[in-house]
Structure 1
Amino acid sequence: MTEKLTKSEAEWRAQLTPEQFNVARKKGTERAFTGEYHDNKEKGTYHCICCNEPLFTSATKFDSGTGWPSFWEPIDPAKVGEIEDRSFFMRRTEVVCNKCDGHLGHVFPDGPEPTGLRYCLNSAALDFKKEE
């Protein structure tokens, strides 16, 4: 497994925009249909905004109609962690980057085959690298 990346809150604040910090470090959520990548159709790889770890590819991205970038599978399941989230009187599964613990979004069991999963992520937690 990759070595864990840790930084102080001040270091994260200096590296990230206020929106990126709120989403990735404070478990915020951007409003639906406002994120940079919710409608992105280009081929490439989505990396963690905090540590640049490649997490998802355009090959597994699909239009879920939810207003957030959605994927049915990560590049490597070991790169993303899942944490039970009981905030807002709901029971959900939070998705984090395993390298830096950055909050990415949530995963739901209502996605397409072959996995049946929908990784519903925040654009602010991602950096897209276009395929050359």
Structure 2
Amino acid sequence: MKKITVLLALLLVVSCNTSAQKQSKKKTFKVSKSDSEWKNQLSDMAYYVLRKGGTERAFSSELNANYKDGIYVCRACETPLFKSEHKFNSGTGWPSFDREIKGNVAYESGDPSGFYGIEEHCATCGGHLGHIFNDGPEQTTGKRHCINGVALKFIPKEQ
């Protein structure tokens, strides 16, 4: 009996996965900069949203009502994220798209309730973009990528 107890105790110690161990598995991205480099590159609001996971005020972005032809790229690293042809007026006050450019957006479930959707990040630099919900246009994907305008930079088709 004593051997079994010792064996179980040893097994428990070896298999423990503490929160400190989990936190040390930080994701790495192709574009990586120090916090001070991001602060120097981005406006205060862009830094707050992209690097700290914040949210801009609804209807505050000029990109919300932009329906010109072009592409939306990450403000931090200029990775192409969304095409203008997939943008729609969701009425929420944030730029909304029914699909992303595959491979350029990463997802992370941060809210167990699902109320705030699944977090979206730039797959190249890890910048926080917004959230994805399942209440988008039914005639296309049914998805609504609700994106902070300050996290995006619009490049018109002519360029």
Over 2 Å off, 4+ runs: 89-92
Out of 78, 97, 102, the position equivalent to 1:71 is: 97
Out of 130, 134, 142, the position equivalent to 1:109 is: 134
Alignment gaps of 5+ in structure 2: 1-28
Where does 1:1-40 land on structure 2 (aligned, <5 Å)? 4-40=30-66
**Aligned partner of 1:126: which letter?**
L
Q: 1:91 to 1:61 in 2, by over 3 A?
A: closer
Query: Which residue of 2 is the match for residue 43 of structure 1?
Result: 69
State the identity %: 46
Higher strand share: 1
TM-score by length of 2: 0.77
Query: Which residue of 2 is the match for residue 98 of structure 1?
Result: 123
Higher helix share: 2
The separation in 2 between residues aligned to 1:119 and 1:9, in whole angstroms, is 27
SS of the aligned residue for 2:36 comes to helix
The CA RMSD measured in Å over matched residues stands at 1.7
Q: Once the 2 structures are TM-superposed, how far is the Cα of residue 92 of structure 1 from its aligned partner? A: 2.4
Higher relative contact order at CA 8 Å, sep ≥6: structure 1 or structure 2? 1
The separation in 2 between residues aligned to 1:10 and 1:73, in whole angstroms, is 32
Q: Once the 2 structures are TM-superposed, how far is the Cα of residue 91 of structure 1 from its aligned partner? A: 5.0
Q: In the alignment, does 2:106 pair up with 1:81?
A: yes
Q: Once the 2 structures are TM-superposed, how far is the Cα of residue 69 of structure 1 from its aligned partner? A: 0.2
Q: Once the 2 structures are TM-superposed, how far is the Cα of residue 54 of structure 1 from its aligned partner? A: 0.6
Q: Is the 8 A contact 1:5 1:99 kept in 2?
A: yes
The separation in 1 between residues aligned to 2:51 and 2:108, in whole angstroms, is 15
